[in-house]
Structure 1
Amino acid sequence: MDRTAMFEALRPFAPDRRFTDPMVPLIDAVADAFGLPPAGNGGAVQLELTEKDFADAAARLECSVAQIKAVFEVEASGAGWFTDVRGDILALDGEGGFIDGAHLPKILFEAHIFDRETGGRFRATHPNLSSARWNRALYVGGQGEYERLHRAMQLDRTAALRSASWGAPQIMGFNHALAGFDTVDAFVDAMKSGIRAHLMAFVAFVENSGLAPALRQVTTYHASAVPFARAYNGSGYAKNEYHIRIARAFAKWSRA
């Protein structure tokens, strides 16, 4: 028996056939006692970047390790993962489902992008998922964004995946080709596989967007980071001091 079969055997005994958070750790503990393998991506995810990861990224972009560390630190939105989330989301998708796993990449579901991707056909029936314009109030934040994604996937799976930003660098699903993937499904699978994939997707995005030369200009001087910050973040780069933050991060990593 595998873990999925065990959960399905017990499902008739769960309230409304849905597993709630208190039940999941108990069943997982029993499964662990019998040596059943981790669910989803539970045991195979690289959560921390290594020096080799950064060295490989720098070699590909022909920049210094300090330069790639600086821009990735600033442009990546903190840690790339939700951890210990299995019990919170299992009821949505089931054992072994798309969003089952002990570790999942951070996402943010963008209702205005889903609206664009679906031609507005869900705007009237699902206003929390499909909006004609960007609306900050629609975000729920944290792991709850997976619930929004899951509901959108029931309406249009591909459009939903294209409408979320993924992982540490928060690359939009519709930018999968710039990140080096032929399909959004391949991109998402990579984002779920480990943090190295987040870094290398960022590298591909920089490379395919023609930003590598600007990255190689970065030094400790704020002005040197302006070309990259402006191209990557748009006209709001100065207000948010992205160029200053990149230069400071470069100075820090240059001393490391």
Structure 2
Amino acid sequence: MTTLANVLRQGDHGAAVRSLQTALNTFGAAVSADGWFGPATTSAVMDVQQHFGLVVDGIAGAKTQQALASGARAPGHLTAADLVSAADKLGIELAVVRAVNEVESLGCGFLPDGRPVILFERHIMYREVGTAGLDALALAERYPNLVNQKRGGYVGGAGEHKRLADASTIHRPSALSSASWGAFQIMAYHWKRLGYESVEAFTDLMRAGEAAQLDAFVRFVLEDPALLKAMKGRKWATVAELFNGKDFAANLYDVKLDRAYDKYTALKVAA
């Protein structure tokens, strides 16, 4: 199948949408390959997602495109059943979990090379090495891009694994604890509070699959009564602030959550 854009959704148009529609028709759909991602294309995408056991959202991201190309869901990708399980554990509506997954996750918890998505935080590394009894100031002077009182130094993508590897030569537990992991970017320093045996155990599970990454998010919510209450009550501004920080409104996280919830409530997607 022709390589498509990373994420395609209703309202998009162009050659990438036409390629998607052609692939959907090869799979068995009957949509017009007109390059316009309308309701019929959304419905066809949802049929494909349900067939492969993927999260059913009508959005043709990398996972859906990969399943169409290969004829199978890739091992480790999140499933619709995983979201049902998360909703049960949290005691909240499935539509809420679907909305949070769409808006707050990165869409895919893994890089194209199979490693989990991470973001290394040098200001957390500064704190962690100090807690471990090392001289944080001296390390910051020597490795300012890895140990620093100020956040920053990001390179993104696979480059974050290089930063983590370099930081691990200073103090591995501190380095692992200083990265956020997976689709929901849970900081590893929470490992003990979330019930993991060690930071190594946490990061090993984040490498195992998106279901484990979702479980880390579920544990995170269960350990934050205010966040859980806000999710149950659909207080989207509170959910967005507690998960993204006080600047959440700049990215319209609360608006996106509200719209996503309405979408999933209306769709009544099968589990």
TM-score normalised over the length of structure 1: 0.69
The structure-2 alpha-carbon separation of the partners of 1:208 and 1:46, relative to structure 1 and needing over 3 Å to count, comes to farther
Q: Percent identity?
A: 39
Match of 1:204 in 2: 219
2:154 to 139, 142, 155: 139
What is the 5 A alignment of 1:190-229? 190-210=205-225, 211-218=227-234, 224-229=235-240
Counterparts of 1:47 and 1:140, CA distance in 2 = 25
2:92 to 63, 75, 78: 63
Q: Give 1:47's aligned amino acid.
A: G
On the 8 A contact 2:76/2:208 being kept in 1, the answer is: no
Q: Which runs of 4+ in 1 moved over 4 A?
A: none
- Note the C-alpha offset of 1:234: 2.4
Counterparts of 1:248 and 1:186, CA distance in 2 = 36
On the 8 A contact 1:112/1:132 being kept in 2, the answer is: yes
Q: Does 1:163 align with 2:178?
A: yes
Q: Give 1:225's aligned amino acid.
A: W
Superposition RMSD in Å: 1.5
| Gap regions ≥5 residues in structure 2 | 1-73, 131-135
Q: Give 1:141's aligned amino acid.
A: G
Match of 1:32 in 2: none
The structure-2 alpha-carbon separation of the partners of 1:178 and 1:247, relative to structure 1 and needing over 3 Å to count, comes to farther
The number of aligned residues is 187
Which one scores higher on RCO, CA 8 angstroms, separation ≥ 6?
1
Q: Give 1:191's aligned amino acid.
A: M
Match of 1:189 in 2: 204
**SS of aligned partner of 2:142:** coil
The structure-2 alpha-carbon separation of the partners of 1:57 and 1:188, relative to structure 1 and needing over 3 Å to count, comes to same
Counterparts of 1:141 and 1:179, CA distance in 2 = 26
On the 8 A contact 2:178/2:187 being kept in 1, the answer is: yes
Counterparts of 2:232 and 2:198, CA distance in 1 = 29
Counterparts of 2:167 and 2:189, CA distance in 1 = 15
**SS of aligned partner of 1:46:** coil
| Gap regions ≥5 residues in structure 1 | 1-44, 86-102, 219-223
On the 8 A contact 1:165/1:173 being kept in 2, the answer is: yes
TM-score normalised over the length of structure 2: 0.65
Match of 1:104 in 2: 115
- Note the C-alpha offset of 1:215: 0.7
Counterparts of 1:180 and 1:213, CA distance in 2 = 21
